[in-house]
Amino acid sequence: MKTKYINWLIYAVLMVVVVTWLGWGKPNKIIGMFFVSGLAVGSLYALGGIGLVVLFRATGVLNFANGAAGAAGVMTAWQFGQWGVWAPLTWAACILVALLISLFYGRMIAPLLAWREPVVKAVATLGFALIILGLVSFLWIDDPRSISLPTDKIGIKLLGLRVTATRMIVFLSTIGLVIAIYLFLGQTKIGLNMRALANDRDLSALIGIPILKVETIAWGLSGLIAGFTGLMFGDLIRLEPTVITFMVIPSIAAAICGRLDNLVVVLVGGLSMGVIESLLTLSPVLKGARPIAPFVIASLVLLWSQRGTQLTFGGRD
């Protein structure tokens, strides 16, 4: 417990040092704008990371196809919007498509790889992601597009930057999801089953846990989060399937921060990555390193937290 508090203290001190260093000599208003902008991006990283961790904790699958499922969902929503479908139905379609894609993989493909190593399972989802991306790129040729939500029009000023209701929804949803999933895994029978499954699939089967049912629920939850994340990415980042598909990479960095287990650390890690990445823009020397910031941070967290202890990508191998 003491080590835990020390780790959080070291984190807080490091963040203050990094923010002060990167913002040194800049007006507070400018630092504030970059800080808030970073939180907005970071909450998207965290949201993606949480979707990954939920599935990994229940099934042991690190799902690289989460972003592609979200991309397929949001492109469907855009298409329905072009056809004049009522906007809330298009959003529902986005989440439904991602859910179906996730369930398809979870029911049809994942069981075939259930006894393989975690790395094999992860690589299989990467292949699935590329297939989805190929199909989406075939259906929707490269063309300028955008999607907007009514909440984009509402906003408040925070540290000099206008923060829209959509960004606040993402931020609050991320925190809400962490709490909800924490309670779900800790307080419900399905949650208990999921934890048991993640711990030891063989033993769980022996004691009568309905593996297929529990895994299907996990894949469904993951699909719902992927659909919501895709819709938010499409609105707040870019409506480009490739970009949305590969947003899963910084999300994985956020998930790695939490060692694919601790949702609170995933949340804090994602937010910190967004803030540091944004503040690096203020450094003439380091701004070119912005794209690698999430991975450097994830590596440092991993090195720190793994000092002689457990594997993060372990399991049967």
Partner 1 sequence: MKKLNIMLSATVGFIGVAMAGQAAAAPSCGSNTGEAATGEPIIVGGIHGNAAPGDFSASTDAAAAYFSCVNANGGINGRPIDYRVENDQWNPELASQAAAKLVDDAGAVALVGNGSFMEMAVNAGTYAKANVMVMASACAISECFESSNIVSTNQGPLPSNLGATQYAQEELGATNVACIGLNIPNNGPWSCQPSIDLMKARGGDGSMALLNPGAPDVNSALLESIANGADTILMNLPAGLAIAVLKAAEEQDLRDSYNWIAPTPLYDLSVPEALGEYWDGKVWVNAELAPFHLNGADAQNWLAVMDSYANPNDPRDTFAQSGYLSARFFTDTMLAMDPAEVGDRAKVTDAIKSIKGLTSDLMCGPYYVGDSDFHMPNHAGYMLQMVGGGFKVVRDCYEFDSAYFEPHIALEKKLGLR
- Interface positions with partner 1 (CB under 8 A): 26, 30, 33-34, 37-38, 40-41, 44, 79, 82, 133, 137-146, 148, 152, 155, 161-162, 164, 233, 237-243, 246-247, 250, 274, 277-278, 281-282, 287-288, 290-291
Between 40 and 214, whose beta carbon lies closer to partner 1?
40
Which residue intervals of 188-240 are DSSP H helices?
189-199, 201-206, 211-236
Between 60 and 294, whose beta carbon lies closer to partner 1?
294
Between 193 and 245, whose beta carbon lies closer to partner 1?
245
Between 40 and 197, whose beta carbon lies closer to partner 1?
40
Between 108 and 141, whose beta carbon lies closer to partner 1?
141
Please spell the DSSP secondary structure of 42-95, one letter per residue.
Answer: HHHHHHHHHHHHHHHHHH----TTHHHHHHHHHHHHHHHHHTT--HHHHHHHHH
In the complex, minimum distance from the CB of residue 288 to partner 1, in angstroms, rounded to a whole number: 7
Between 107 and 290, whose beta carbon lies closer to partner 1?
290
Instruction: Give the integer Cα–Cα distance in Å for 91 and 124.
Output: 28
In the complex, minimum distance from the CB of residue 21 to partner 1, in angstroms, rounded to a whole number: 17
In the complex, minimum distance from the CB of residue 122 to partner 1, in angstroms, rounded to a whole number: 21
Q: Which residue has the tokens 């260093």?
A: 21
Q: Which of 40, 244, 242, 232 is nearest to 147 (CA)?
A: 232
In the complex, minimum distance from the CB of residue 162 to partner 1, in angstroms, rounded to a whole number: 5
Please give the C-alpha separations between residue 253 and each of 103, 271, 298, in angstroms, as whole numbers: 24, 11, 5
Helix H or strand E encompassing 3: helix 2-23
For CA atoms 274, 275, 276, 277, give the dihedral sign.
Answer: positive
In the complex, minimum distance from the CB of residue 278 to partner 1, in angstroms, rounded to a whole number: 5
In the complex, minimum distance from the CB of residue 203 to partner 1, in angstroms, rounded to a whole number: 40
Q: Which of 115, 309, 74 is nearest to 202 (CA)?
A: 115
Give the CA radius of gyration of the chain.
Answer: 20
